[in-house]
Structures are given as C-alpha cells and as structure tokens.
Amino acid sequence: MITEESVETAVFESSDRAPGEARAFVAATFARWGITEHYMARLVVSELVTNAYRYGEGGIGVRLCLGGQHGLPVVEVYDRGSEMLTLLPENHAAINGRGLATIADICDAWGVRPVKEGGKVVWARLKL
C-alpha cells in the first residue's frame, strides 16, 4: 500500500551477491507498491550497487522512496567510501564505465551527495 511517501530500506553485505539481492528487494518492494513495471528500477539499483561494491567501502544501503515532491520512485544507494562518482566521457573502446551514463539516459534525474557521518549516497529518480 502506498502512503503519502513510502520508504523501504535494506542493507547488503558488500559482495558480488549484493546486486542480485538488491534487484530482488526492488522487485518485491515495487510489487507491494502496486508497480508492475520495475525493470528499469532493477537495472538502476544493479548499476549503483555494483559501483558501491566495486569502488565503495563497507556495507551497502539501499533506500527506495515513492511519493515526495515529484511523485516518482527514487533509488538511493549508500556506501562509506568518500570518492564521489562522476560521469565519464563516452569511450566506445572501454569495457566498463558506462553505468552512470546509462542511468543518466534512462532516469529523470540522478546525483551524488556526501553524507555528514561519512560516505556518500548516489540517487536516481526513475521515470514511470
């Protein structure tokens, strides 16, 4: 059931299993919210959690929000790493480094912000 603003959170161990576990969390949460189309949300959380696992530090927090100012779902991924993510220039020869570009293309908005207690949150507002 969707309240004025629905929020669900989960914490995952930083491992190669975290992206799959986060995708399952998104699918279950969106189903509870009555959102049947959640492919893009699973793609976004997979990319952000993979970045947190590969480049961040510590456990990985995922927060899903629905409602708020824009009424669109927001995916937030937290890790304790201090390095802020940036969108890399397009490089067709690269074998990785396209995740944030993909997120920028398919989402309404995205960004990264430091957390006062340490670490960062990377967020993406999805389109429905």
- Domain 5-126 class? alpha beta
Which H, E and C letters describe the chain, residue by residue? CCCCEEEEEEEECCCCCHHHHHHHHHHHHHHHCCCCCCHHHHHHHHHHHHHHHHHCCCCEEEEEEEECCCCCCEEEEEECCCCCCCCCCCCCCCCCCCHHHHHHHHEEEEEEEECCCCCEEEEEEECC
Residue 107 has pLDDT above 80, yes or no: yes
Map out the domains of the chain as residue ranges.
5-126
Q: What tokens were used for 8?
A: 């669900």
Mean pLDDT of 101-110: 89
How far apart are the C-alpha atoms of 73 and 124, rounded to whole Å?
9
- The size of the chain, in residues, is 128
Average pLDDT over residues 33-42: 93
- Pairing label, strands 5-12, 74-79: unpaired
Q: Tens digit of pLDDT for each residue in 66-100?
A: 987 778 899 999 999 987 666 556 655 555 556 78
